Amino acid sequence: MLTLILAEAELERIPQEIHSHPAVISNAKQRQRKPSKILLDASFHHSAMRKKLSEWRRRGRPDITHIFLLVTLDSIANKKGEVKIIVHTRNNEAIYIHPETRLIRHYPRFIGLMEQLFEKKSIETEDKILLKLEEDKKIEDIVEEINVDRIIGFSTKGRRINLLEYFQSLREDGYKDIACIVGGFPSGDYHCNLGKIADDVISIYDDMLSAWTIASEITVNYENIFLCSQ
Amino acid sequence: MLTLILAEAELERIPQEIHSHPAVISNAKQRQRKPSKILLDASFHHSAMRKKLSEWRRRGRPDITHIFLLVTLDSIANKKGEVKIIVHTRNNEAIYIHPETRLIRHYPRFIGLMEQLFEKKSIETEDKILLKLEEDKKIEDIVEEINVDRIIGFSTKGRRINLLEYFQSLREDGYKDIACIVGGFPSGDYHCNLGKIADDVISIYDDMLSAWTIASEITVNYENIFLCSQ
């Protein structure tokens, strides 16, 4: 089993500090929704974020979570029932994604879905919970509750490896259930101490990569090594 | 070199047949743009498409092209300068993508960019052409102008293979420059005769896959086999 954790994803509702900014008020009016119920989105709230929000350069990026989820949910490894996906947010919420979720492809409607999730804490169909949000979950807490053999953190500061060979050596060492932690922010570094949380911190390229590029590398190579009977 | 062709992508402007539908008129008013200059999007124009458009179930899906481009442009193979990307549309336009394009992540702004491309035929910076649209280009024409050793079509109807091993055997047979054709539509089959255009038609899974899942499998395994010095 492969557990994918998108860590410190820049997914949050518009914070109090910028509720009274004209750009936020105008967006709220257009959306016919209170600012406190709207997802922060750098593309719409840039001028307000820039003025009053700490770490504004990296915040308000639900698009990263969206594409990460589309890539991982649609992966062959997930279709084979071998993937568990959890999104951890900057405010220490954990979002558990049911592997059979057919995620909305259309970004504006994905935003609406996430807003509903933040409000109701879960999105359900008749017979299953597709998305569930739990508060007060640090990455450490999430890692503790999943039961895996090996926790691997992905970071440009990690030890440079070739991922196919790395998974091969994990397999040879008898590891089967592995968790991979991937940063859900556009730039900068993890806030958490990744070296303490993960058994190993690795890097697969000499430069920053998108969260979904790392996700592709992980899922495809996981299939190649751990699910390789065609 | 790896050439990726997204074929018969469902990317087009709102067709004449539905310009007078209330949903289209209302969307055009909101966007302050003529219907003929707006990209067809099933999420916004569904009710109009359903009534009057042939093949309405598969049309109006710019989101597929968007995510395909994000996945391929951000891939390690492309960062290493080893990928060429071309989008072929249902109306036989070819869109040539400069490998260094930093594509807009935000879907509504991507739509704006594509509308600009359909209007101006190219998107340029000071020193390079990022996107270029050419008309009257069938897949056959595109395949003819690129100079590759081997053209591979991806289809559920193809011969079932393991992609890592398949690329390995291509490499052993001395192939270096390969082109991969991936369908840019959400369901159904190619309109073109893929078996005539490609040297080989293959399938990598027993069920339909998203265009970006196939793109992940291709780019990651291409790196594994053809660019494997870490």
Q: What is the pLDDT of residues A36-50, one digit of tens each?
A: 999 999 999 999 999
Domain ranges for chain B, please list them: 2-9+61-226, 16-52
Q: Is A154 left (phi over 0), alpha (psi -120 to 50) or beta?
A: beta
**Distant-in-sequence, close-in-space partners of B62: CB < 8 Å, separation ≥ 6:** B10, B11, B39, B40, B41, B110, B111, B114
Q: What is the pLDDT of residue B51?
A: 85
Contact status of B187 with chain A (Cβ, < 8 Å) = no
Which of A64, A71, A107 is opposite residue B212, by nearest beta carbon? A71
Q: How much is the pTM?
A: 0.96
Residue of chain B with shortest Cα separation from A210: B74
A64 vs B: CB within 8 A: yes
Average pLDDT on B104-127 reads: 95
Nearest-CB residue to B63 (from A76, A105, A219): A105
* % of chain B residues with pLDDT over 90: 95
- Across residues A156-165, what is the average pLDDT? 97
How many Å apart are CA B227 and CA A27, to the nearest integer?
46
- Residue B87: strand pairing partners: B6, B95
Superfamily of structural domain A2-9+61-226: SPOUT methyltransferase, trefoil knot domain (3.40.1280.10)
A25 pLDDT band, cuts 50/70/90, is very high
Who among B74, B210, B217 is closest to A213 (CB)? B74
**Phi-psi domain of B72 (left: phi exceeds 0; alpha: psi -120 through 50; beta: other):** alpha
- What is the band of A229 on the pLDDT scale with cuts at 50, 70, 90? low
Query: Can you tell me the mean pLDDT for A180-194?
Result: 97
Strand partners, B160: B203
User: Which ipTM was obtained for this model?
Assistant: 0.95
Instruction: Identify the band that residue A147 occupies on the pLDDT scale cut at 50, 70 and 90.
Output: confident
CA distance B141 to chain A (A): 31
